[in-house]
Amino acid sequence: MQFENNLKVPMASSFSQLTIIYFFACNIFILLASARTCTSCYTSIFGFGDSLTDAGNLIHLYPPDRKPHMYFPPYGKTYFNRPTGRCSDGRLLIDLIAQHYGLPLPPPSIDARDGRNIQAGINFAVVGSRAVDAQFYEKRGMYDKVTNVSMWDQLEWFKQMLPHLCHNPSGCKKFLESSLFLLGEFGGNDYTHSLLSGKNLNDILPIIPVVVQSIASGAHELVELGAKTIMVPSVLPFGCASSYLTYFESWNEDDYDEIGCLIWPNEFASYHNELLQKELHRLRELHPHVNIIYADYYNAAMQLYRAPRRYGFLEGALVACCGGGGPYNFNIFALCGIFPATSCEDPNQYVNWDGYHLTEAAYRWMTKSLLEGPFTYPPIKNLCPFGINEAQVSQI
C-alpha cells in the first residue's frame, strides 16, 4: 500500500487522530502477518509410522555390512541427490508438512539421540513398522522380515526422549501443546505382511478392528502425555499400488475398477479407514479440548490415480517409476535400488515411485490437499491457516 508524501490530514479531535493512527497500525500489522510463516502455530513436529514416514531409522537396525534396498540410488535423487533412507525419490509427507509450517525436516530419532536438533521435532518412524506388536502376529503365523518395530516401540522411544526435550513439567506442557504429532500411517504393514505370509482376506478382516483400536490407543497415549494436536492418517489405496497389482494379478476383469485398481484391497483399506474415523470420533468426545485430525491419505492419493494428467503426471499412474520390469514395473526379485532394476528419467511425471511408495511429486500434491484442501477432518487449515509458499520451502 502506497501513500502520497503530501497527504494532508485535517486537524480533528484527539479521538479522530487516534482512529487514524489505529487504522495505519492495523494495516501494517496485516501486511506483516500475511508475510510471516506459520511458526507460531507449531513449534515442532514429531512423526511416527512406517516407510511412508521413515527418514533413515531402519538402517540402524540392520547389521553394518547389510543395507536395505532404499539405501541405494536412485532413492533420494530428486531433492537430496543421494539416498537418505526415505522410501521415495525425495521428500516424504512429514517433510513437506514440516516445511509447510516453516519447520526444518525432523531428523531420524536414532540420529537425534545425541541431543542435537531435536527442539523442532524428531522422526521416530521405521520402515515396516506395524500398529500391533510382532508377538500378536507371530502367534498367528504372520511374520515380517523387515523389522519387528511397532508403533508402541516408537512411542516408548518418544517417552524416553521427553526429558531431553523439556526439563520441567510446566515447560514440557507448553512444549507439547505447541507441537504437531503425526501418528502414522499405520496399518499398511499389518495387512501387507499378513497377506504375504500366506493369509487370505478372511484371515485379515478380523485383524482390522484390532489394528484400528491399537492406533486409537496410541493417539490416546499421546493425549495423556500432553499432546494437543494429533494428525492420524488413513491407509493408502492398496489396490492401486503396483506391488499389489503384481502380487495379486487376476485374469478376471471384474476384480478391477474403471482405472485399473484391484477392488478387494481397496475395499478392505476403506473398511480400515471407516473404523478409524469412528474411533477418532470417540476420542474427540473423550478429549474435546484436543485437536484429533483424521488425514485422508486414501482419497488424497486416489485423486492422482483417477486424473493423473490434471496434476501433471503421465497416464498410466499405476506403473512404478523405479522397478524391475513387468506390466507395472514391479519385480520382487529386482526391487528399486537393486540390479537390474531401472528408474524413469523424470520421477515428477509419475505417481508411483517403487511399487509400494509414491514419488515426491505425488506427496507434494497430497500435502497441499491435506493442509489446504478437503482431506483433513476437522480441517487443519482452520487450526493453522498460514503456510509458506514453495519458493520459501526451497530455501529451508
> Are 319 and 50 contacting, i.e. CB atoms less than 8 angstroms apart?
no
Position 304, amino acid:
L
**Given strand 229-233, what is the order of strands in its sheet?**
121-123, 44-48, 179-183, 229-233, 291-295, 376-377
* pLDDT for the residue 394: 44
| Residue 222 to residue 159: CA distance in whole angstroms | 10
> Are 335 and 327 contacting, i.e. CB atoms less than 8 angstroms apart?
no
CB atoms near residue 41 (< 10 Å): 18
What kind and span of H or E run contains 293? strand 291-295
DSSP 8-state class, residue 50: S
Which residues participate in catalysis according to the annotation? 51, 354, 357
Residue 168 region by backbone torsions, left for phi larger than 0, else alpha for psi between -120 and 50, else beta: beta
b/e code 239-269 from CB counts within 10 Å (16+ = b)? bbbbbbbbbeeeeeeeeeeeeebbeebbebb
Question: Which residue do the cell numbers 514453495 mark?
Answer: 390
Question: Which residue do the cell numbers 516408548 mark?
Answer: 156
DSSP 8-state class, residue 199: -
* pLDDT for the residue 141: 85
* pLDDT for the residue 297: 98
* pLDDT for the residue 40: 54
Question: Which residue do the cell numbers 511408495 mark?
Answer: 357
Q: Beta strand 121-123 with 44-48: parallel, antiparallel or unpaired? A: parallel
Nearest to 121 by CA among 49, 32, 181: 181
* pLDDT for the residue 37: 38
> Are 341 and 79 contacting, i.e. CB atoms less than 8 angstroms apart?
no
* pLDDT for the residue 156: 97
Reduce the DSSP state of residue 146 to 3 states and report it: coil
Position 78, amino acid:
T
Residue 46 region by backbone torsions, left for phi larger than 0, else alpha for psi between -120 and 50, else beta: beta
* pLDDT for the residue 36: 36
> Which positions of the chain have pLDDT values less than 70?
1-40, 113-117, 386-396
Phi, psi torsion values for 343, nearest 5 degrees: -120, 150
pTM of the full structure:
0.88
pLDDT single digits (tens) 158-185: 999 998 888 777 778 899 999 999 999 9
Question: Which residue do the cell numbers 487516534 mark?
Answer: 18
> Are 242 and 319 contacting, i.e. CB atoms less than 8 angstroms apart?
yes
| Residue 328 to residue 320: CA distance in whole angstroms | 6
DSSP 2-49: ---TT-------HHHHHHHHHHHHHHHHHHHHHHS-STTT-SEEEEE-
* pLDDT for the residue 168: 75
What kind and span of H or E run contains 367? helix 360-371
| Residue 3 to residue 331: CA distance in whole angstroms | 65
Sequence-ordered strand ranges (E) for 94-162: 121-123
End-to-end CA distance of the chain: 29
* pLDDT for the residue 110: 86
Fold of the 44-393 domain: Rossmann fold (3.40.50)
Domain boundaries, the chain: 44-393
Nearest to 349 by CA among 28, 35, 89: 89
Distances (CA, A) of 216 to 71, 208, 227, 284, 286: 32, 12, 14, 11, 12
